[in-house]
Amino acid sequence: MSDQPLHPDTVAVHAGRADFGALGVHAAPIDLSSTNPLPDILHGGDSYESMANGGHPLPDGGNVYARLWNPTVARFEEALSELEHAEASVAFASGMAAMTAAILSHTTAVGRHHVVAVRPLYGGTDHLLDSGLLGVEVTFCDEDAVAASIRPETGLIVLETPANPTLDLVDIAAVVAQAGGVPVLVDNTFATPLLQNPLDLGASMSLHSATKYIGGHGDVIAGVIACSEQTAEALRRVRAITGALLHPLGAYLLHRGLATLPVRMQTQQAAARAVAAQLQQHPAVLEVRYPEYDDTRGLIGRQMRGGGAMVSIRLAGGYAAAEALTDAVRLFAHAVSLGGVDSLIQHPAALTHRPVAPEARPGADIVRLSIGLENVDDLMADLEQALAKTRSAAEV
């Protein structure tokens, strides 16, 4: 094999499998041990202290306890790191657990109690920041106001691109330039490592709700953050204390899901482009939001390698039309979440973004589509029949 860097499609299949030959296995093994035998007191104690402080287990019997370390989880982390061009990754029991650890490790843990957050954000993230639960003060702002929002006590800048649910794009490199050394976390869930690598653009952390595209089949809840090893130590420290480690069965499913991520993303993105283009012509649709539309700054190509598989639409009939549409679809599942093999539809203002402050909540006329692997003609036929019912709903 040449020394040329491997393509992401190949990395997705082979990453995190370096020890398979020595283990004599072809599929990823699942270690379900909740506790591990210790060779002696001193070795176990030293290893425990290392992991409790965010480090790695000592070799030869140093795993100690699954809250601190699990080899199945570690293999998934290694694989995600390769795809994200990162030194390390840290996996959590959910995307929100990952976000919580990122905030705590960069604010309360280091004596900096201020966060700058670029709206719009996923509703759970927005709610967490706005709730005061983590003891931080938050300044919500637009992308171009990041520098003006930073204070001496600012410990973290949080952004999401493409944003949920409007699919607005944020220039990651421009925010990093404004940050002046303050760590920048990018929620990379919608883009995945196949379409966007925030660390290459200067971000400190790339966070994924791995429940979505990385898992890809709607059967696992997880979060993961790609970052430097120094940042990973701080995140692992929070994870160990709070008990937010990803279960090994979930890690197995995610590692398996990575192998098909490139194929799924390519197919789903092509379908999303086709659906978006056809919906632009529909009289019941006021506006189609898709990252490749109105990209006046050239972020598609320079920052993101394609528009992804999410589409948001504004309906001419407002909330009544949204309700009629979500009630009438047959192939699209009316459900929260996204990124699976089947297509989903949901109304963000009433569901995922309901806890968000009214001034930041998406409009009642917005419906979000997650495009799956179904045939595009079948998806459009379903949307056409459902959209036909929105007109009469809006007239009531």
> pLDDT tens digit string along 210-230?
999 999 999 999 999 999 999
Active-site residue 65, yes or no? no
Q: Would you state the structure tokens that stand for residue 363, as one six-digit string?
A: 């409009």
Residue 395 banded pLDDT, cuts 50, 70, 90: low
Catalytic residue among 168, 187, 365, 382: 187
What are 49's two structure tokens? Answer: 């202290």
Average pLDDT, the chain: 95
302 catalytic residue (yes or no): no
**What percent of the chain clears pLDDT 70, i.e. is strictly above it?**
98
Q: What pLDDT score was predicted for residue 187? A: 98
pTM for the structure as a whole: 0.96
From the candidates 9, 46, 67, 200, which is the catalytic residue? Answer: 67
Task: Check residue 394 and give its pLDDT.
Answer: 52
Residue 226: C-alpha distances to residues 112, 114, 326, 380, 395 (Å): 22, 22, 35, 36, 49
Fold that domain 8-258 belongs to in CATH: Aspartate Aminotransferase; domain 2 (3.40.640)
CATH 3.40.640.10, the chain: domain bounds: 8-258
CATH top-level class of 261-395: alpha beta
pLDDT digits (tens, 9 = 90+) for 220-277: 999 999 999 999 999 999 999 999 999 999 999 999 999 999 999 999 999 999 999 9
Which residue spans within the chain are E strands per DSSP? 88-92, 114-118, 137-141, 154-160, 184-187, 205-208, 223-227, 285-289, 310-315, 333-334, 344-346, 366-370
122 is catalytic: yes
140 DSSP β-pair partners: 117
Amino acid letter for position 77: E
CATH 3.90.1150.10 maps onto the chain at 261-395
Per residue in 315-353, pLDDT tens?
Answer: 999 999 999 999 999 999 999 999 999 999 999 988 777
**What's the pLDDT at 172?**
98
What confidence tens digit (pLDDT) does each residue in 147-158 have?
999 999 999 999
36 three-state secondary structure: coil
Q: Provide the pLDDT confidence category of residue 288 given band limits of 50, 70 and 90.
A: very high
Q: What mean pLDDT is predicted for residues 51-68?
A: 95
> Which has the higher per-residue pLDDT, 115 or 4?
115
For residue 389, indicate whether it is catalytic: no
Q: Which of 17, 75, 112, 212 is catalytic?
A: 212
Surface-to-core class of residue 293, CB atoms within 10 Å of its CB (0-12 exposed, 13-18 middle, 19+ buried): middle
Q: What is the pLDDT of residue 355?
A: 78
Residues 70, 53: contact at Cβ < 8 Å?
A: no
DSSP 90-113: EEESSHHHHHHHHHHHHTGGGT--
Q: Catalytic: which of 122, 213, 252, 290?
A: 122
pLDDT of 151-182, one tens digit each? 999 999 999 999 999 999 999 999 999 999 99
Higher pLDDT, 256 or 294: 256
Of 306, 341, 326, whose CA–CA distance to 386 is shortest? 326
Question: Could you give the CA distance from residue 17 to residue 22 in angstroms, rounded to a whole number?
Answer: 10
**Where does the pLDDT of residue 24 fall: very low under 50, low under 70, confident under 90, or very high at 90 and above?**
very high
